[in-house]
Chain A
Amino acid sequence: MGDYILLVISSIFINNIILAQYLGTCPFLGTTKKMETAIGMAFAVVFVLVMAGMLTWATETFFLAKFGLEYLRTIAFILLIASLVQFVEMFLKKSIPALYAGLGIFLPLITTNCAVLGVCLININEEYTFLQALVSSIAYPAGFGFALVLFAGVRERIILGRVPKPLQDTSIGLITAGILSLAFFAFKGMA
């Protein structure tokens, strides 16, 4: 049990997917101008990644590793994620329109979100068991959402400030992210 708690803490704080592992930076900068979009994106990623994490783990263990097809991993995983996203989109549109209205526009973006493929590959590279893979597929996107919400909060304030012209928008965003990541850097001492 202790191992799992450690895994959760390290995935959220110490190895935060955006601020320490540099994955998913594009949506991090793209969707954090407003708090609502940041929250929407965060939930969409959690939602997809939990399923993608389990499916890719199963594919690797029961199919690719069994038949010695590891070199097809990249293609297999990206196809799986792309079709999963498409499927989730259709399912939500039909069955849970309220949720679709909230997450809808973010879903197609998730296919090209490197955080999703990244976590699936980390699960395999670290040779996690199914339960560990499941925990990390929940904890990593939770850390993603955490960073997104924190950053959106800071960014909403920056818009009100007077930023010098060349620094505006992405530039100041990246510098802010740097300072935020400096704060997360302190968690490294816990490991």
Chain B
Amino acid sequence: MAKTLTQEFVKGLWEEVPPFRLVLGLCPTLAVTKSVENGIGMGVALTFVLVCSNILVSLLRNVIPAKVRIACFIIVIATFVTVVELLMQAFAYPLFLSLGIFIPLIVVNCIVLGRSEAFAYKKGVMPSIADALGMGIGYTLALSLLGAIREVLGSGAILGINVFGPSFEPFQFMLEAPGAFIGLGLMLCIMNFIGKK
């Protein structure tokens, strides 16, 4: 069954949006969503790695022997993660500092490896790009949404702009680990609830 490129792209946005539907790549989802800005930064970095690694894996799919494919995927992914790391150090240093250890940890993000294994290794280049873009943008949107919720409740602001005025007492709790877990849990619940209808 051949899906069109648009379908491959769209499925990442809602049907299979990575952190909610597939429950993959949760660590950065929880850790970097203290603000919308961090969420978008992480999302863009991941999208870049995902698109590049999907292209390369898809191009090399006839060359890579099946037995050592995971090791090959990891090297491809690690290379692009290093590229992102160096680029961010050069052009977005404050963001690099606030994302910290989670930039190199994109290597072990299950989404990237999962897409190489489940999609790019089997399909051509164009569908792989569409798939990676869809997944990446879906991931970015999910991260920004969770980031927005936590930023609004935790510091009363969005993208640094105060929304509630001075009388608002921020929920410090939302910025810390418990808020991340509970916020994501409730978002999953809402997604499930909408999805069932």
Q: Footprint of B on A, CB under 8 Å?
A: 19-26, 29, 71-75, 78-79, 82, 111-114, 116-118, 121-122, 125, 165-168, 170-175, 177-179, 181-182, 184-185
Contacts and interface: CB of A to CB of B under 8 A. Distances in A.
Interface stretch (B71-79, B128-136, B163-171): B71-79
Contacts of A79: 74-75, 78
The 6 closest A-B pairs by CB, nearest first: A174-B185, A178-B181, A178-B182, A175-B185, A22-B31, A166-B192
B108 A114 contact: yes
A185 B27 contact: no
Contact of B178 (A82, A171, A185): A185
A174 B188 contact: yes
B177 A19 contact: yes
B26 A171 contact: no
Contacts of A82: 70-71, 74
B180 A22 contact: yes
A179 B176 CA distance: 12
B185 A165 contact: no
A16 to B, nearest CB: 9
Contacts of A173: 185
B180 to A, nearest CB: 7
Given A29-B23, A166-B189, A171-B188, A121 B177 contact: no
A168 B177 CA distance: 21
Interface string B67-88: 0001100110011011001100
B3 interface: no
Nearest to B185: A174
Interface residues of B, number: 44
A38 to B, nearest CB: 17
Contacts of B183: 178
A161 to B, nearest CB: 15
A64 to B, nearest CB: 13
Contacts of B31: 21-22
B74 A113 contact: no
Interface of B: 23-28, 30-31, 70-71, 74-75, 78-79, 81-82, 85-86, 101, 104-105, 107-110, 113, 173, 176-186, 188-190, 192-193, 196
B23 A74 contact: no
A22 B30 CA distance: 7
Contacts of A74: 78, 81-82, 85, 104, 107
Contacts of B30: 22, 25
Nearest to A73: B104
A78 B107 contact: yes
Contact of A121 (B104, B186, B188, B193): B104
A71 B31 CA distance: 23
Contacts of B176: 185
A170 B23 contact: yes
B35 to A, nearest CB: 15
B82 A181 contact: no
A165 B178 contact: no
Contact of A170 (B81, B113, B188): B188
A121 B74 CA distance: 17
Contacts of A22: 27-28, 30-31, 177, 180
B25 to A, nearest CB: 8
A22 B180 CA distance: 9
Given A75-B82, A171-B186, A179-B178, 5 more contacts: A22-B180, A26-B23, A26-B25, A74-B104, A185-B178
A27 to B, nearest CB: 10
B105 A114 contact: yes
